[in-house]
Structure 1
Amino acid sequence: MHRRAAALAVPMTAIALVVSSCASIPEEWRTPAFLRMNDDALDSRLPEVTGEVGEEPEITFPDIEPPDEEISGVVSKGSGEDVLVGADDLVVANVVQYQWTAPGEGEKVEGQSSYENGAPDLVRMEQMPDYITETLVSQPLNSRAVYVFPPLTSEEREQAEAMGQPAPEGASVLVIDMVDRFSKGAVVPGEQTTNGGGDLPTVTQDGHSQPEIEIPEDTEAPEDLEVVPLIEGDGAEVEEGQQIIAQYTGVRWEADENGNHPVFDSSWSRGGDPLDATLVSGEQGGLIEGWVEGMAGQKVGSRLMLVVPGDMAYGETTEEAQGSPAGTLVFVVDILGAYDNPPPPEPAEEEGGEEASDEEGAAEDGADEESAEE
């Protein structure tokens, strides 16, 4: 559950970097779709990519100048034709970016390999441009696609430099391995072993529909966080700081003036589009404390009922909540997936190779403050 006033930091993916620098690829530069969909007709100018999907690829650049048009193709098709990537899926992908600098020459872009940092990219297909998705949609999982984006023109380089953005040499190359996908309306497998009940809410859910949450009448809300596994998953344990993918629904414990407990927020109200967020609360994240504490240590594939007191949500009173629902909240959350985030960047080093001391940093801060006062 997002804190409404907090922005959630999402890692900048290699896809976003390339798309942002090639967002206006002319139509005449686009390779016809049949060259993408038919493996036998792959463009011979595509780099050769070898290695197993699930491991960092090895790439060989053709002994030609980088092409001046966008080309792409599926160079390794996954098995399992019954699990195909859809146009509105949330796709988990490993992405590696390269620069093709000259005939037969190229290099991996530093820091732009999810295989190196151990953190896959979460790609919402609906948010990607057509020239990305048309190669990926309807392909089976564990397929590998390669994209080549032409070198920047002189005008594009000037625009990038004027905006303070890097202007790489040569053509940009992406290798995308699709390792998992979550469709709209996805739920965890299995049957509920309990519906809750007693002094706690009762939860019922019919298939892929939004769950129904019934609050017990004439019962005080619990003072502490309650975590009830309705379905116990068998995946890896969720860790604080990971990227989570979840379906959720939330209601207030306290009834409204009509005696009802209407849903105040739900991924189902957005067509069942799963939430992806970093499991961190407070100033560093956009999730309430009750979600972080309640989900950490639970297993992927679990359905949880979380009864969250106001002091672990938005506050006990309307004034504290500031427009968000006040008091105890009840959520039903399906934990669909959990993936590591990239490690934080290393501290900057001084010219001599040593990190700046705390005293030097404090002195610089003081100088900045004095300048601001002047």
Structure 2
Amino acid sequence: MHRRAAALAVPLTVIALTVSSCGNIPEEWRTPAFMRMDGDQLDSRLPTVTGDVGEAPEVAFPDIEPPEEELSGVVDEGPSEEELVRADDLVIANVAQFQWTGPGEGEPVEGQSSYETGAPDLIRMTDMPEQISSVLVNQAVGSRAVYVFPPLTEEEQAQAESMGQPPQVGASVLVVDILDRFGMGSVVPGEQTTDGGDGLPTVTQEGHSEPTIEIPEGDAPEELEVVPLIEGTGDEVEEGQQVIVQYTGVRWEADENGDHPVFDSTWTRGGAPFDTTIGAGSVIKGWDEGIVGQKTGSRLLLVVPGDMAYGETEEEAMGAPAGTLVFVVDVLGAFDNPPPAEPEEGASEGAEDGGEEAPADEESPEGEATE
């Protein structure tokens, strides 16, 4: 998610999205349509939301005072042939917030709509509060949900203001459009057209499983090598986008037993897809240069020389894997990030420039391919 949750009303500040470590559930086990929890009549106190899912919603507020309790419901159900959201998914959604200020009155909250920025939210369902996740689980991609959160108490209002939020008036209304989902063990579609080789590592991978990487004899390449094992058909990944990937990494150099054990992998975390900003210094240089420009839906073999990986400083100080590294990366999706916030008047222009090396992505667990 684009760290917008902290700017929402206090009841939603718990939407802090971090890496999940749930068990691996194959895609073939997704919830069948007949188990969907639909058909419940919507609460008449819910605002009326119009417009197509995937486009900015129009919201009409009932001619009553904002309710003093939480309300929610699915106002548009996605096509029955679409995949259903599971409780451990990474969901791509457009989110818009409104403030219900009085009978029949309300307005959008400025800066709180991904439709304005063109950058959808990445929502890890395992980190959602129950009142959010219970509505989305078992709904099809293409569905739209609406939530109403009651006006803040005096204590909550004080907490919100202490976090730099403007005063909240009335109830908060959240509209969530489900655009896509990525499940535990998601991989790119298609068959490998090459397994690498010819002086480079050889990769085999069966279905929704961790790839096997065999390192050839001989010296590692001195330059970055990028080989599409499966060439995707999606758009090219752009610098500054958020990418969603499955990956596995091993060292080219063998250990004392002659093996090349995995030093980091999403598969060791149950196949939970990893997301990060690409091309902006949040990950190692070999990822930034190797993934930008590749098509989404691709499976990539990356052979990353040491000077484009962690380098001697981090290898020594942080125990990062040394030397040339080999990754197999499934590029599941790529989505725009919101534009950077405009600096406050009088702020130093130099503060915007963080230098060449950005801090590690805050969602990366220890051992990720981050600098």
Compared CA separation, residues 113 and 319, structure 1 to 2 (3 A): closer
Q: From 320, 329, 332, give the equivalent of 2:328.
A: 332
Alignment match, 2:27? none
The alignment yields a C-alpha RMSD, in angstroms, of 2.3
Alignment match, 2:203? 203
SS in 2 for 1:41: coil
The answer to whether residue 293 in structure 2 is matched with residue 302 in structure 1 is no
Q: Which runs of 5+ in 1 are unaligned?
A: 1-9, 25-35, 351-355, 362-374
Q: Which runs of 5+ in 2 are unaligned?
A: 16-35, 352-371
Q: Is the 8 A contact 1:250 1:263 kept in 2?
A: yes
The answer to whether residue 285 in structure 2 is matched with residue 322 in structure 1 is no
Note the C-alpha offset of 1:348. 2.5
Note the C-alpha offset of 1:165. 4.1
SS in 1 for 2:177: strand
Q: Is the 8 A contact 1:91 1:178 kept in 2?
A: yes
Q: Is the 8 A contact 1:205 1:211 kept in 2?
A: yes
Match of 1:138, as an amino acid? N
Q: How does 1:258-277 map to 2 (within 5 A)?
A: 258-277=257-276
* Alpha-carbon distance in 2 for matches of 1:67, 1:49: 17
Match of 1:340, as an amino acid? D
Higher relative helix content: 1
Compared CA separation, residues 37 and 104, structure 1 to 2 (3 A): farther
Alignment match, 2:89? 89
Q: Is the 8 A contact 2:9 2:168 kept in 1?
A: no
For normalisation by structure 2, the TM-score amounts to 0.84
Note the C-alpha offset of 1:162. 4.3
Alignment match, 1:289? 285
Note the C-alpha offset of 1:158. 2.8
* Alpha-carbon distance in 2 for matches of 1:185, 1:357: 44
Compared CA separation, residues 86 and 358, structure 1 to 2 (3 A): closer
Q: Is the 8 A contact 2:306 2:325 kept in 1?
A: yes
* Alpha-carbon distance in 2 for matches of 1:330, 1:125: 30
Alignment match, 2:194? 194
* Alpha-carbon distance in 2 for matches of 1:309, 1:215: 14
Compared CA separation, residues 321 and 255, structure 1 to 2 (3 A): farther
Note the C-alpha offset of 1:331. 0.1
Q: From 12, 21, 25, give the equivalent of 2:3.
A: 12
Deviations 1:166-209 (A, max 9, x none): 44111000000001000000000000000001210000001111
Match of 2:242, as an amino acid? Q
Match of 1:17, as an amino acid? L
Q: Is the 8 A contact 1:238 1:296 kept in 2?
A: yes
* Alpha-carbon distance in 1 for matches of 2:309, 2:252: 12
Percent identity (aligned) = 70
Q: Is the 8 A contact 1:233 1:301 kept in 2?
A: yes
Note the C-alpha offset of 1:238. 0.2
Compared CA separation, residues 169 and 37, structure 1 to 2 (3 A): farther
Between Structure 1 and Structure 2, whose CA radius of gyration is higher?
1
Q: How does 1:1-374 map to 2 (within 5 A)?
A: 11-14=2-5, 17-18=8-9, 20-21=11-12, 37-39=37-39, 41-81=41-81, 83-217=83-217, 219-282=218-281, 285=282, 287-315=283-311, 319-320=315-316, 322-349=318-345
* Alpha-carbon distance in 1 for matches of 2:300, 2:151: 49
SS in 2 for 1:68: coil
Compared CA separation, residues 37 and 64, structure 1 to 2 (3 A): farther
Match of 1:13, as an amino acid? R
Note the C-alpha offset of 1:346. 1.9
Note the C-alpha offset of 1:23. 5.5
SS in 1 for 2:160: helix
SS in 1 for 2:300: strand
SS in 2 for 1:133: helix
For normalisation by structure 1, the TM-score amounts to 0.83
SS in 1 for 2:132: helix
Alignment: residue pair count: 331
Alignment match, 2:26? none
Deviations 1:293-337 (A, max 9, x none): 000100000000000000000115875563100100000000000
Q: Is the 8 A contact 1:37 1:74 kept in 2?
A: no
* Alpha-carbon distance in 1 for matches of 2:200, 2:313: 22
Q: Is the 8 A contact 1:66 1:101 kept in 2?
A: yes
* Alpha-carbon distance in 1 for matches of 2:44, 2:338: 34
